[in-house]
Chain A
Amino acid sequence: MVKIGSNGSSSSLVVARDVSKTYHRGSEDLHVLQGINLQIDAGDFVAFMGPSGSGKTTLLNLLGGLDVPSTGSIIVAGDEITRLSGPRLTQWRARHVGFIFQMYNLLPVLSAFRNVELPLLLTSLSSDERRKRVETALRVVNLQERMNHKPGELSGGQQQRVAIARAIVADPTFLLCDEPTGDLDRKSADEILELLELLVRDFKKTVLMVTHDPRAAERAHATLHLDKGLLTQ
């Protein structure tokens, strides 16, 4: 069992037990993750590194409830998400997870404001309350001046900051970042990493980040390595 608990918290936010993931390609079985045991405390900033195909993104998808493991169980904030499926798992994601992707994955037809507002549409908040929350999130990422701009009118770094605002606007339990700086220049990458650090430090967010970039991993409290589906610290 790999335990991450740099903040001294007594209870683990994320617990993965004997998690494996196997894909079937014709007659061939592809073991992407094997026997993953992991414990992460609330408020940690953890980086996952490893070569391409090592299973980093798959692990992130499993922890975020986007995919289900072939075996094993995952418990997040007391919920055994491996027992959830369909709409219940989707609702769980909406409540607990903020996703940040390498390619930002913003909706190009919506303004920054509308993109950030998306997760709030799933809540019962009024229009005014949603507006306040979106403005706050955009202020955190320092983009309140560009809220009416569409993604195509923003730089890569700005788009990623909008994506971060979208990820935090509903105040999720933790953030999952899949190569958040992979498509950015150094300066923009550093800004994004500083923002993630800020979220961990000042807003007590838990951040799990997949990265190829050692300089990005240095910002994390702990770095876990994956190789051929096996986890090492």
Chain B
Amino acid sequence: MKYLPLLLANLTRRKVRTILTVGSFAVALFLFGLLYTIRASFNQGIEAAGADRLVVINKVSLIQPLPLAYRDRIQRTPGIKEVTYANWFGGVYQDEKNFFAQFAVDHSTWRAMYPEFLLSEKEWSDFSASRTACIAGEFTAKRFGWKVGDRIPVRGVIYPGAWEFDLVGIYKGARPQDDTSQFWFRWDYLQENGPPWTKGYVGWYVARMNAGEDMAALASKLDESFANSTWETRTQSEQFFMASFVKQMGNIEFLMVTIGSVVFFTLLLVTGNSMAMSVRERTGELAVLKAVGFTDTFVLGLVMTESLLIAVVGGGLGILAAKAFTVFGGDPTGGLLPVFYLSMVGIVSGLVATVLVGVAAGLLPALSARRLQVVQAFRRL
């Protein structure tokens, strides 16, 4: 603590430079926080995916259907515990900008397959009791101000027509990464009111395997059982399925890492230059400190601490701003990134990166300050 006045005096010597350097850290870490959040948002489906769930889709493409008759064959496959199925609806609520995922689900099996989505018994029984019933995630319900009892009109695109649903429940996620933007209604309702070509077909199956089963072997077995049929299948783990889905949008991971690396490298140059200037312009003062008895190691520590302090203050402000943005601003895409939050892992990663840049930026100037010879420094003055 006794060195604090010296430290603060050095940092406030060039206020504008210090503010700009702190600002660089703040902006960089704010950006890092958002990039991390977006990356996590894209990957949330992968993180939330069940480790024991398989997704069975048409081998040609996800948009090609599979016969309902496959349900029983999948169910009978040794190693499979339970099966459910769903269809992508793709309707429009009020405006095309109001995107959210809408699924026609099998109400009798969906709940058991996704225990991470929390609903009361009453909400489930209401869902089972009415063909026009629907359930929305709390993110979407909050987004549109829906309450249980509301009638939700949706314009069908793949399944043309004016569809209306009665909201009987709002589900929550058991974990932060669980997607609460989905909208479910009953598959049998879709069957009754959909066009003829949809009758008897489902979009995909989700199967839970028994504990201890070899997932890859089970997936191969399922696909082999439907080989050489009109509707061949491709079976994947839910995590792999989600990862493939994200990959279809491009290499998000690569994009994020590249942008992040460029930002941090630039930050390193800016801060390193700032610290080098700071040390160079007070060569005489550092020599005086050494002359009166401060050791080389103390001088090194002083410069490193200045660099770290700038980094931590700036980085802390930036990450705090990013957290505030995700909490108060929410998903900036209006629904494409429903799980938009900066996790503790993201915050800690940001702060660790900040400290590393602070150390790296201060290291060369600090070593140069450490090597400074008093006599030579005075001779240069």
Q: Which residues in A have some Cβ–Cβ distance to B below 8 Å?
A: 61, 64, 66-67, 86-87, 90-91, 93-95, 99, 101, 103, 105-110, 114, 118-119, 121-122, 127, 130, 166
Contacts and interface: CB of A to CB of B under 8 A. Distances in A.
B288 to A, nearest CB: 5
Give the interface SS of chain B, mostly helix, strand, loop or mixed. Answer: helix
A105 B288 contact: yes
B381 interface: yes
Contact of A110 (B5, B374, B378): B5
Give the interface SS of chain A, mostly helix, strand, loop or mixed. Answer: helix
A67 B6 CA distance: 26
Given A91-B293, A91-B295, A107-B9, 7 more contacts: A67-B375, A93-B291, A101-B378, A103-B381, A107-B288, A110-B6, A114-B9
A151 B6 CA distance: 15
Contact of B5 (A87, A90, A91, A114): A114
B13 A166 contact: no
Contacts of B292: 93-94, 99, 118-119, 122, 166
Contact of B6 (A99, A101, A103, A114): A114
Given A66-B375, A87-B297, A127-B2, A109 B291 contact: no
Given A66-B374, A107-B285, A109-B12, A90 B381 contact: no
Interface in B292-339: 292-297
Given A66-B374, A105-B284, A127-B2, A90 B290 contact: yes
B12 to A, nearest CB: 7
B191 interface: no
Contacts of A66: 291, 374-375
Interface of B: 2-3, 5-6, 9-10, 12-13, 284-285, 287-297, 374-375, 378, 381
Contacts of B291: 64, 66, 93, 99, 105
A212 B256 CA distance: 66
A105 B378 CA distance: 10
B5 A118 contact: no
Given A61-B375, A105-B284, A105-B288, A94 B293 contact: yes
A127 B2 CA distance: 8
Contacts of B374: 66-67
A90 B292 CA distance: 8
Nearest to A88: B295
A87 B294 CA distance: 9
A121 B3 contact: yes
Contacts of B13: 108-109
Contacts of B10: 109
A109 B293 contact: no
Contacts of A64: 291
A93 B293 contact: yes
A66 B377 CA distance: 11
Nearest to B8: A109
A189 to B, nearest CB: 21
B196 to A, nearest CB: 83
A86 B9 CA distance: 27
Counting from the closest, the 7 A-B pairs by CB-CB distance are A94-B293, A109-B9, A105-B288, A67-B375, A109-B13, A119-B292, A90-B295
Contacts of B295: 87, 90-91
A111 B292 CA distance: 17
B283 to A, nearest CB: 11
Contacts of A87: 295-297
A103 B287 CA distance: 13
A205 B335 CA distance: 79
Contacts of A90: 290, 293-296
A61 B6 CA distance: 26
B9 A118 contact: no
Contacts of B294: 90, 94, 122
A121 B287 CA distance: 16
Contacts of A109: 9-10, 12-13
Nearest to B376: A67
Contacts of A130: 2
A95 B292 CA distance: 9
Contacts of B378: 101
A107 B2 CA distance: 16
Contacts of B375: 61, 66-67
B7 to A, nearest CB: 11
A67 B376 CA distance: 10
Contacts of B9: 107, 109-110, 114
Contacts of A108: 13, 285
Contacts of B381: 103
Contacts of A93: 291-293
B157 to A, nearest CB: 67
A91 B293 CA distance: 6
9 contacts: A67-B375, A91-B293, A94-B293, A107-B6, A107-B9, A108-B285, A114-B5, A119-B292, A130-B2
B132 to A, nearest CB: 74
Nearest to B1: A127
